[in-house]
Structure 1
């Protein structure tokens, strides 16, 4: 234990130690979690029989299969054709123009003009492809038709073409449409030759009016592809069952989810590294801002890393039981031991944050039999277990309360297990539930036992004085406090007053009030060696009246060294020993100094000063002030608020002028707050009292 303390003392001022320690802590966490995130892989070959049932460890999209289904959906979409209504108008206009041209030719030619000349003239006015579509006989019948018959034929043809072209006509439907337009003109009242020419002309006018719409077709196919849901392999889904033949499709799925030994990947480990860094960053930030008063930050960092490592390794060792099919061993993990220790040695906030880290790490460590990386049931259970310990010990930091905290943790664990069993809708037997409850109880009790066992080693090994230790030392039944009470009751009462004054003043400036109170109890323990030589224990004659000032000075000064020796003999914490040694600093024993000057004429002032050292901490400085203030105020015959304030401020000013606070970091502003706190406390103690009539009558009688 001494070697640990020596090593801590030598390394506590290392500048880069926090970053080194957190690097090692991150590496340790990574190593302990590595096995639990390493993907399980199988030596499976194509076209062989599977020896076991294999489930997917992750949810992943089968992009190849999804793309195939999307292509099939697109292929099932028919081409989109758009009806062009303007085509009907164009063909009607064409028919009208043809008949108008025929009428013009009839009007322009004389009766003596031959049929051939008329045909020639018509041919010149019509497109060649149109002219060739009808025979010369049919054109001739149109040219020789009576104007009335020609007008009738025109109207009938326009009507028939408009009717047929108003409907959808595809390339496949073209012949049928032409047949229909012929049927529409079947009953036109004209001669047969003219009717044949009109029918042929109408059939020429009929064309497909529906064309392929590429943009609409692509949009419809895109919509069909979007409607296809991604094909996913779900976490926990059976990919291949035992005894099943490994087909190409199954082999591709095994490869996709990374279950083949041939598929090497480092992604899980990169993810774990990033995850661990993010997980520990809040703790690093806490210690970066953490500035303890009585120890260097690195000492507390050593303590924290030790607790964190012990808890994490303990969780890891228990997780190894999963290899023998004990998949529910998370319920027996005493994770609360780490949370309770951090709550006692640090504070509740750090305990809660650390417990969250424990729970997340535990959810990874105890993921055996779970498809995926995190076992959320185990994580929630460990979170509740650790929080129960931290919350129960909020302000109750006695060892007896640690045992009670263990029982409280057991109760919370039991309730949480029952809740998890019910929420999972698991069909557990009463025996299984009983085993779970037993594990929960063991976890809580074992946490408190481990805490009580580890706490003294951490306090002694790293020199940490916890609040629990201070509360134990404040017990009036402590041997040294009993010694003060029985052997020097005046000093005991004086110490209690100094404790009350010091605690309030420390809390006023944010110092450790509990440490000040407990240290004040023991600061004058050295007076028990010669109690009659100190005025608060004297009844009757003062022994110093018969001693030389030098001898009296030696006796008074010796109580500091005697007290330090007694405290060390009883292995008291270093903080309390230091305060006992520093509470007088290098102040001057003014009474005996002036007495010696009166007797001898010249005396060295240094001879009548305490050997020191001067106060090194705020708590020591405040106790030194409170020690003098209490004695000075008690000596006042009729203390009032003005007198008390004058004494308090005078003592503080005297200590400042004497440079007694040069070696501690207390500020003038804080000294002002200390003065105000001391005055308030003393005014409450030495307030004026009412003199009752009975007391006055008794005094008159006595007079």
Structure 2
């Protein structure tokens, strides 16, 4: 068995610290592999699989985000298209034109007034004056029109009429082409007010109102020119018309650069579309046609795998687990005095931790498969079916409560990491493990295990309900399967525990309470042989069981282990039962034997007991009570007889070899075997008391304990003086219950009424007679 290998400590083997470090690294390495993303990831279809049926069910191995460029582009295009077109609206175009006209005509009149030549010379005026006039007008003027205006001396009447004509062309909204207004009429526009050639503000115009094209505006100018007063010569009216048409321009001008800039800004404000994929989420089912979204998620999975250095990921996961394990180990070493783990304890702890992580990972995989078969049931419901508390229950069955609590914390953290970093599953595993380890310690039969499972299931369902409410899902349709799965997970706890415990007992050599209960059954074959072959020894062992059980409860030892040790401590007396006083009905078989021979025969029951314990495959902790309950004490009766005979023969008592009369040991190594030694001495002595009064029993128990203590038999166990005082008190009370003084029933007097006639049986002959 592994326990025997771990018990050996050859030179050059691992020290306690080395073993702990090795186990921590082993657990960290195994957990790192289980925590590595993509450990169960299927080979994802490539882009060429678009439009083909999926060859199997595909689920996300873990939570991740993937950008959707197509959706992002669509949203950005929509945002750009939603931007209104930007137009520059020159509301003061007519006023501006009027100002230019007045300035140009004033300049022309001043030029004519200062000229010394006649009007005919105006036709040959310098090119600079012509250019200055055109610059003030803002348009080119033909020679003919300029001559006609000069003939009219640029009169103020002509100036006023030109201002009116220009206002006809520039008033309102004038556009270059009507087709640019198609979008603006549907959704509106952004109109930037232009004054003096610079933007002065903007506003959104939804109702455009009347809008003219440039051709319509110029046509309006021509109609207005036709209505000019007849007092103005026709050539001059034509010149005014030509200038007014030239001055007419679009007052509402589309700004493509500003519109494009605003569209780009609107598109840039749209954040990239990110698809959030939850671990375990179904991507595509078997036979479903793969579309662009499926390929997008598959590309995201591949990018996640390529974008991560698996070595670094595993190193990080292993570091997390290693730190967790190291902290648990250091805490147990420094802050849990009652926890003194052996090598096999450390190995079991590590194996159980790895097994818990493996079960969690397997539970996720199985849950995925079941979710595919039953898509109406949430995936977490299948995960709640996993009995996470089994590890803590097994640990508590063989180790201390403190170690089980540390295991519950560590395994819960691992489960949370494996379950897609789920805090809720980690808490669920931790709390159910704590409850299971606390309740299973008081279990005394296998039926009690199912009560523990029911309690754990109730707690699990409560935690699942609290999680459901905390996450805001409320009482939805998925709640009932989750609660049922949590209860079922608790019910599965005793099933797995009962199946695993025997394997742990056999592999590691542990002794559980359930195994002890089997050994405490008085129908055990070894005890049945004992009652047949050595009934007195059997009775003595049963009484001792009551004594040690009471004493163990008084000092906090294991009462069940102590009682079982008492039942089997004299198992070797089956071989030669009549050589022991409790089984003798006639004269002693030691009469006529030398004391040394008698001592050898009596000591033989220890080696015979060890052989029978091996034959019946008794656990080591129980079999250890057979040699240890005598320790290295003397076979006192025959030692005293040998000394007496030595004196009678005139020899020296000191010449006797006490090793012949001394048990080989070892001394009691545990508190339970020490209790068996004390109870054996006290019960045997109590039988010889002529009157078992409380005072005599108290003196006897105190005397026997003092003898054992003074001989140093308790040096190698952990009993304290306080424990010995408690043991003495419990032993006296237990012996009083067994050897209490009974009242003497009075004999029937001569004058009393005759007894009624009843049939009397001759039990030995079977004859029946009547008085």
Tell me the SS of whatever aligns to 1:465: coil
Q: Pick which of 350-359 and 465-474 moved more.
A: 350-359
Question: 1:473 touches 1:518 (CA, 8 Å); kept in 2?
Answer: yes
Residue among 402, 409, 415 paired with 2:449: 402
Residue among 551, 558, 561 paired with 2:604: 558
Counterparts of 1:364 and 1:553, CA distance in 2 = 65
Counterparts of 2:731 and 2:360, CA distance in 1 = 50
- Structure 1 residues 698 and 236: CA distance shift in structure 2, 3 A: farther
Residue among 722, 727, 734 paired with 1:674: 727
Residue among 393, 408, 413 paired with 2:440: 393
Asked if 1:625 corresponds to 2:678, the answer is yes
Residue among 13, 16, 31 paired with 1:29: 31
Q: Pick which of 490-499 and 547-556 moved more.
A: 547-556
Deviations 1:419-473 (A, max 9, x none): 655666659997x667656644653444323222221221222222223322222
Deviation at 1:270? 8.6
Deviation at 1:411? 5.2
Deviations 1:613-642 (A, max 9, x none): 332333323321221111112211123344
Deviations 1:265-318 (A, max 9, x none): 99988986675456445531453155679x862221111111121121111122
Residue among 313, 322, 333 paired with 1:288: 333
Matching of residues 122-141 of structure 1 within 5 Å? none
Matching of residues 15-414 of structure 1 within 5 Å? 15-35=17-37, 48-49=69-70, 275-276=320-321, 279-280=324-325, 283-289=328-334, 297-321=342-366, 327-328=379-380, 329-367=382-420, 373-374=421-422, 376=424, 378-383=425-430, 385-387=432-434, 389-410=436-457, 412-413=459-460
Question: 1:532 touches 1:538 (CA, 8 Å); kept in 2?
Answer: yes
Counterparts of 1:379 and 1:344, CA distance in 2 = 22
- Structure 1 residues 682 and 400: CA distance shift in structure 2, 3 A: same
Deviation at 1:495? 1.4
Counterparts of 1:296 and 1:351, CA distance in 2 = 12
Question: 1:50 touches 1:243 (CA, 8 Å); kept in 2?
Answer: no
Q: Pick which of 8-17 and 635-644 moved more.
A: 8-17
Find the counterpart in structure 2 of residue 217 from structure 1.
Answer: none
Counterparts of 2:445 and 2:517, CA distance in 1 = 7
Counterparts of 1:586 and 1:700, CA distance in 2 = 59
- Structure 1 residues 234 and 512: CA distance shift in structure 2, 3 A: farther
Counterparts of 2:431 and 2:708, CA distance in 1 = 52
Counterparts of 2:67 and 2:661, CA distance in 1 = 91
Counterparts of 1:404 and 1:596, CA distance in 2 = 59
Find the counterpart in structure 2 of residue 496 from structure 1.
Answer: 542
Counterparts of 2:274 and 2:385, CA distance in 1 = 26
Q: Pick which of 517-526 and 479-488 moved more.
A: 479-488
Find the counterpart in structure 1 of residue 659 from structure 2.
Answer: 606
Counterparts of 1:235 and 1:685, CA distance in 2 = 84
Corresponding pairs, count = 498
Deviations 1:366-389 (A, max 9, x none): 33xxxxx4252x345434543553
Tell me the SS of whatever aligns to 1:543: coil
- Structure 1 residues 25 and 597: CA distance shift in structure 2, 3 A: same
- Structure 1 residues 466 and 647: CA distance shift in structure 2, 3 A: same
Cα RMSD of the aligned pairs, angstroms, is 4.5
Residue among 674, 680, 690 paired with 1:637: 690
Question: 1:33 touches 1:361 (CA, 8 Å); kept in 2?
Answer: no
Q: Pick which of 568-577 and 30-39 moved more.
A: 30-39
Tell me the SS of whatever aligns to 1:333: coil
Deviation at 1:688? 5.0
- Structure 1 residues 438 and 623: CA distance shift in structure 2, 3 A: same
Residue among 506, 512, 516 paired with 1:470: 516
Find the counterpart in structure 2 of residue 128 from structure 1.
Answer: none
Find the counterpart in structure 1 of residue 57 from structure 2.
Answer: none
Counterparts of 2:618 and 2:72, CA distance in 1 = 67
Asked if 1:652 corresponds to 2:720, the answer is no
Tell me the SS of whatever aligns to 1:49: helix
- Structure 1 residues 265 and 342: CA distance shift in structure 2, 3 A: closer
Tell me the SS of whatever aligns to 2:357: helix
Counterparts of 1:53 and 1:447, CA distance in 2 = 53
Unaligned runs of 5+ in 1: 55-230, 245-253, 368-372
Find the counterpart in structure 1 of residue 531 from structure 2.
Answer: 485
Deviation at 1:573? 0.8
Question: 1:40 touches 1:259 (CA, 8 Å); kept in 2?
Answer: no
- Structure 1 residues 235 and 381: CA distance shift in structure 2, 3 A: farther
Counterparts of 2:510 and 2:345, CA distance in 1 = 8
Counterparts of 2:74 and 2:37, CA distance in 1 = 22
- Structure 1 residues 296 and 544: CA distance shift in structure 2, 3 A: farther
- Structure 1 residues 654 and 418: CA distance shift in structure 2, 3 A: closer
Question: 1:43 touches 1:260 (CA, 8 Å); kept in 2?
Answer: no
Question: 1:42 touches 1:259 (CA, 8 Å); kept in 2?
Answer: no
- Structure 1 residues 576 and 39: CA distance shift in structure 2, 3 A: closer
Counterparts of 1:259 and 1:296, CA distance in 2 = 42
Normalised by the length of structure 1, the TM-score is 0.60
Tell me the SS of whatever aligns to 1:484: helix
- Structure 1 residues 412 and 52: CA distance shift in structure 2, 3 A: farther
Tell me the SS of whatever aligns to 1:358: helix
Deviation at 1:322? 6.4
Tell me the SS of whatever aligns to 2:623: helix
Q: Pick which of 592-601 and 452-461 moved more.
A: 592-601
Find the counterpart in structure 2 of residue 9 from structure 1.
Answer: 8
Unaligned runs of 5+ in 2: 40-60, 76-268, 278-290, 294-299, 373-378, 752-771
Counterparts of 2:569 and 2:673, CA distance in 1 = 10
Question: 1:582 touches 1:616 (CA, 8 Å); kept in 2?
Answer: yes
Question: 2:63 touches 2:276 (CA, 8 Å); kept in 1?
Answer: no
Counterparts of 1:662 and 1:700, CA distance in 2 = 63
- Larger helix share, 1 or 2: 1
Asked if 1:569 corresponds to 2:610, the answer is no
Tell me the SS of whatever aligns to 2:70: coil
Counterparts of 1:401 and 1:434, CA distance in 2 = 27
Counterparts of 1:394 and 1:619, CA distance in 2 = 18
